[in-house]
Structure 1
Amino acid sequence: MSDPAVTVVLIEDDRQIRRYVRAALESEVMRVFDASTGQDGLAITATARPDLVIIDPVLPDIDGVDVIRQLRGWSAVPVIVLSARSGEKDKVMALDAGADDYMTTPFGIAELLARIRAHLRRQDRLVTPDSARVSFGAVTIDLAARSVQRNGETIHLSPTEYRLLVTLVRHAGCVLTHRQLLEQVWGPAHAQNANYLRIYMGNLRHKLERNPARPEHIVTETGVGYCLVGVR
C-alpha cells in the first residue's frame, strides 16, 4: 500500500487488538488515530478527516452501531466493523446503520488489509451521474446518458430497474442490505416490502447476467442483501 496520505481511525476498546491493528496498519505506512470510546472516536473522526474508519460495535460508552449512525449523519467515509459477534442480526444491524463491511474475530491481518485496499480503491473511483461509464462482465453503463448495453446491444430497463442498478453501482463491492436497497430505491415507506426487491433483482439478473440462475455479478449475501461485484 505504502501511501503515507492514507489516514485511518480505529475505534476499539480492547487494548491488545488496538495495538495489534495499529501496528499492522502503520507497517503499511498508514497514519492511525485510535480511540477506546465511541465519543472519542467520533471527535477524532471529525477532526482527522480519515480515509477509513474501523470500529468495534461493543464500546464502553455508546453502542458501535449508534456511533455508525451518528457518523453517517455527516460523513460518507468507508466503515469496516471488527466484531466478535457473528450473528446475522448483528451484521444486518451494522450494515443498515451505514457500515460498508463486517469482519468477525478472530481475523487475519492480510484479509483486513485487502479489504481496506478495496474500499480505498472504490473511494478513488467514486462515480457521479454526470460523468461516469462503468462496466461489469459484458455490461456497460453510461450514467451520463442513462443507457445500459450488454454485448454492445442496448438493454431496456424500467425506471425502477435503472435506479436499483445505479444504487448497486454506487456501492459496488459492498453488501447492501434489503432494507438499504428498499429505502434508497422505493423510499422509507417500503422498507419492509422485500418481495419488490426479489422481483426487480430477478429482472436485472435476467437482463444483465450471462446465466441468471447462477449470477456472477449481482450476487446474493444470504439473509443480508445483495452485492455488485466485478465492476471496472
Structure 2
Amino acid sequence: MIEDDARLAQMVGEYLERSGFGVTHALDARAGMAVLQEPPAGASPDLVILDLMLPDMDGLEVCRRVRSLPGEAGKVPVLMLTAKGDPMDRIVGLELGADDYLPKPFEPRELLARIRAILRRKGEGGQPSAKVMRFGSLEIDRDARTVMVAGQSCELTSYQFDLLVVLAERAGRVLTRDQIMEAVRGRELEAFDRSIDVHMGRIRAAIEVDAKNPKRILTVRGVGYVFAKQQD
C-alpha cells in the first residue's frame, strides 16, 4: 500500500491483516517503488493499493512507472485510491494501466471486496470452455493469461484480459456495459460509469490492426459491445 496518510494506512492495514492479507506500507512513491523493484525476502506483492495524492510524486506517474517495470513486477494489479472520485483521475489512471479504482472516503469492506475480486481474476484459470481461444491471428490463453496477435504478445492489464475473455466467450452476442462489468466484477455498473470505454480503447489498441477502425471488438451504439466471430 502506497499511501502518505499514516493513520488511514494503519487502519486499512489492520483490517486487511485481520482478513488474512499481509500488508507492506510505503509512505511515499520512492519507498513504494523500492518494494516493487526489490521485494523484501523476495516476496513480490500480489497487488498494489496506490493513492494518487503522494508527497514526492503524482500517483499517476507511479502507476506509469509500475507498468514499465520488467517481468511480472510490471503486471502487478493496481487499485487506485482517488480523491472524491475525480472522473479525470479515474480515466487517466485506467489509461495508464490501473485495474480498478476506489474514491475516498471508502468503506474498508468495499476495498476488501475489490481486492478479492482483482486477485480472483488474476488467479482464475478454470473457465469451463477451451483453455485457448483462437480467432484468426488472435490467440487468447486463459491459463497463461496471455494474448497473442500474429505471434506477437499483447500487453493487457489483468482487468483488461478478463474483459476480453468475457467478450470472446460470447462472440457474436451484443453485451451491454452493465452485462460486461457484472460478468467481470460481479456487480452492476455504477451509475454514469464509463470506465469500461477506457478499457475497451486500451484493448483495441493492443489487439486491433487499426484501433480507430476495429474489426474484432465492435461498438453497438446505444447498447454496448460485440466481439466479431469472423476475423482475419
> Normalising by the residue count of structure 2, what TM-score does the alignment of the two structures yield?
0.63
> In structure 1, the residue corresponding to 2:127 is in which secondary structure?
strand
Aligned to 1:144: 132
Aligned to 2:62: 67
Answering whether residue 218 of structure 2 is matched by residue 200 of structure 1, we say: yes
Aligned to 1:46: 37
Q: CA deviation at 1:145?
A: 5.5
Q: Residue 93 of structure 2 aligns to which amino acid in structure 1?
A: A
For 1:156-167, what aligned pairs fall within 5 Å after superposition? none
Q: Please list the CA deviations of residues 74-104 of structure 1 after superposition, one character each: whole Å capped at 9, or x if unmatched.
A: 2211111112142222111011111101000
Q: Please list the CA deviations of residues 96-136 of structure 1 after superposition, one character each: whole Å capped at 9, or x if unmatched.
A: 111101000111111111111111111212x5xxxxx735x
Answering whether residue 177 of structure 2 is matched by residue 182 of structure 1, we say: no
For 1:13-28, what aligned pairs fall within 5 Å after superposition? 13-28=4-19
> In structure 2, the residue corresponding to 1:23 is in which secondary structure?
helix
Equivalent of 2:184 in 155, 169, 173: 173
Q: CA deviation at 1:56?
A: 0.3
Tell me if the contact between 1:95 and 1:177 (Cα under 8 Å) persists in the aligned partners. Answer: yes
Structure 2 unaligned regions, length at least 5: 141-148, 150-159, 168-182, 186-195
> Normalising by the residue count of structure 1, what TM-score does the alignment of the two structures yield?
0.63
Q: CA deviation at 1:31?
A: 1.3
Structure 1 unaligned regions, length at least 5: 1-9, 128-132, 147-156, 209-232
> In structure 2, the residue corresponding to 1:200 is in which secondary structure?
strand
Aligned to 1:121: 120
Q: CA deviation at 1:201?
A: 3.9
Q: Residue 77 of structure 1 aligns to which amino acid in structure 2?
A: V
For 1:26-105, what aligned pairs fall within 5 Å after superposition? 26-48=17-39, 49-74=44-69, 75-105=74-104
Aligned to 1:134: 127
- Identical pairs, percent: 33
CA distance in 1, matches of 2:161, 2:23: 35
Q: CA deviation at 1:47?
A: 2.5
Structure 1 stretches of 4+ with a deviation exceeding 4 A read 157-160, 162-167
Q: Residue 132 of structure 2 aligns to which amino acid in structure 1?
A: A
Q: 1:197 to 1:167 in 2, by over 3 A?
A: farther
Q: Residue 69 of structure 1 aligns to which amino acid in structure 2?
A: R
Q: Residue 108 of structure 2 aligns to which amino acid in structure 1?
A: I
Q: 1:57 to 1:198 in 2, by over 3 A?
A: farther
CA distance in 1, matches of 2:206, 2:85: 26
Aligned to 1:224: none
Q: CA deviation at 1:207?
A: 7.4
> In structure 2, the residue corresponding to 1:50 is in which secondary structure?
coil
- How many correspondences in the alignment? 174
